[in-house]
Structure 1
Amino acid sequence: MLGDRLRELRHTRGLTLRELAGEAGVSAALLSQIENGNADPSVATLRKLAGVFDSDIAALFSEPNAPMVHISRPGTRSLLSAPQGRITYERLTPGRGDLEVLRANLAPGDVSSAEPWAHPSSECALVLSGTIVVEINEENHELLAGDSVTFDSRLPHRYLNTSREPAALVIAVTPPTP
């Protein structure tokens, strides 16, 4: 899915793997692996690629022919990895551009971003397990399993696991603006 979309965007721009790699500052081998579904790119890599196409990360996942009914099963979802100490995501929704739902996993000490950031969306998070601290507009909110928070994503925010246990949550963003 991501690999097909990336290949389509690359071909539309008339770029070779090496040319795109050079513009994005990543290796052609990594791009080939992503396009062939053999590697899950980091969020940092996705941001670099989106920058080359003058778009946001959501555009890399858009599916012009997304199904009206989408079944998402563990092991088949797109993964958005991050450097150690950062959040990892599983994408639960297709890329129709109206809603993004992610399952996020945070190991002890993990954060969603080094600094709080904002984007023009509405966001809702439900903690599935563990304890999460949600920093929104310089205010911390501790959420336990079963708790949820909904907020205007234009407020600078991030998710932190300050506990000693792994945590998991589901995050819904509309419209998608990762």
Structure 2
Amino acid sequence: MLGERLRELRSARGLTLRRLADETGLSAGLLSQLENGRTDPSIETLRRLAKVFDSDLADLFREPDAPEVHLSRPGERLRMQAPTGLLTYERLTSGRGNFEMLRGVLAPGDTSAAEPRGHASSECVYVIEGEIVASIGGIDHPVVGGEAITFDSRLPHLFRNDGDIDAVILLAVTPPAP
């Protein structure tokens, strides 16, 4: 699904894998693996691709033919890998484009991003297990298991785990954004 979308976007712009590699600073081999579904992309890789395609991150996942009913099963979900110390997400929703639901696990000491970022969306983060600190607009908000925090995503934000156990979160974003 993501690989097919990337191939479609690349072909629509008349780009070869080599040319796309040059424009993104990624290797042609990695791009080929992404298109063929043999590897999961990092969030930074997705951002580079979205920039070259002059779109947003959510557009990379938009699937015009996504089913009206989507069952998300463990082990079959798209994973968006992050560098060590950053949050890795699993996408729980289909690519229909109106909202996105993600599951993430923050290990102790991990954060969701290297620095706070904002984007034009609304978010709700529900903590299933453990606890996080949601830094939103420069203010830290502790959120423990069973609690949720909702905010305007245009405010620069990130989530971090200052605790001693993994924090498992559900994140809803509408509309989907990078």
The amino acid that maps onto 2:120 is P
Q: Distance in 2 between matches of 1:3 and 1:17?
A: 13
Shift of residue 104, structure 1, vs aligned partner: 0.9
Aligned to 1:2: 2
> Aligned residue for 1:97?
97
How many angstroms apart in 2 are the aligned matches of 1:115 and 1:24? 21
SS at match of 1:164: coil
Query: In the alignment, which residue of structure 2 is the partner of 1:81?
Result: 81
Match of 2:14 in 1: 14
Root mean square deviation of aligned Cα: 0.8
Q: Partner of 1:42 in structure 2?
A: 42
For 2:2, the aligned partner's letter is: L
How far, CA to CA, are the matches of 1:112 and 1:35 in structure 2? 26
Aligned counterparts, 1:1-178, within 5 A: 1-178=1-178
Report how far residue 164 of structure 1 moved.
1.7
TM-score w.r.t. structure 1 length?
0.98
CA distance in 1, matches of 2:144, 2:31: 38
Q: Per-residue deviation at 1:80? A: 0.3
Deviations 1:137-165 (A, max 9, x none): 11111111111011111111110011121
CA distance in 1, matches of 2:87, 2:115: 13
Cα deviation for residue 67 of structure 1 reads 1.1
Residue 51 of structure 2: SS of its match in structure 1? helix
Give deviations 1:81-122, integer Å, cap 9, x for gaps: 011010000001111111011001111111111211111111
Question: Structure 1: how far apart are the matches of 2:117 and 2:51?
Answer: 17
Structure 2 residue matching 1:67: 3-state secondary structure: coil
Q: Hey, what's the Cα distance between the residues in 2 that align with 1:176 and 1:168?
A: 20
Measure, in 2, the Cα distance between the counterparts of 1:37 and 1:100. 21
CA distance, structure 2, for counterparts of residue 75 and residue 112 of structure 1: 21
Amino acid at match of 1:92: L
One-letter amino acid of the counterpart of residue 8, structure 1:
E
SS at 2:41 equivalent: coil
Counterpart residue type for residue 101 of structure 2: V
List alignment gaps of at least 5 residues for structure 1: none
SS in 1 for 2:20: helix
Question: After the TM superposition, which parts of structure 1 deviate over 6 Å for at least 4 consecutive aligned residues?
Answer: none
> C-alpha distance in 2, partners of 1:154/1:15?
33
For 1:4 and 1:77, locate their aligned partners in 2 and report how far apart those are by CA, in whole Å: 15
The sequence identity of aligned pairs, in percent, is: 60
Equivalent residue pairs, number? 178
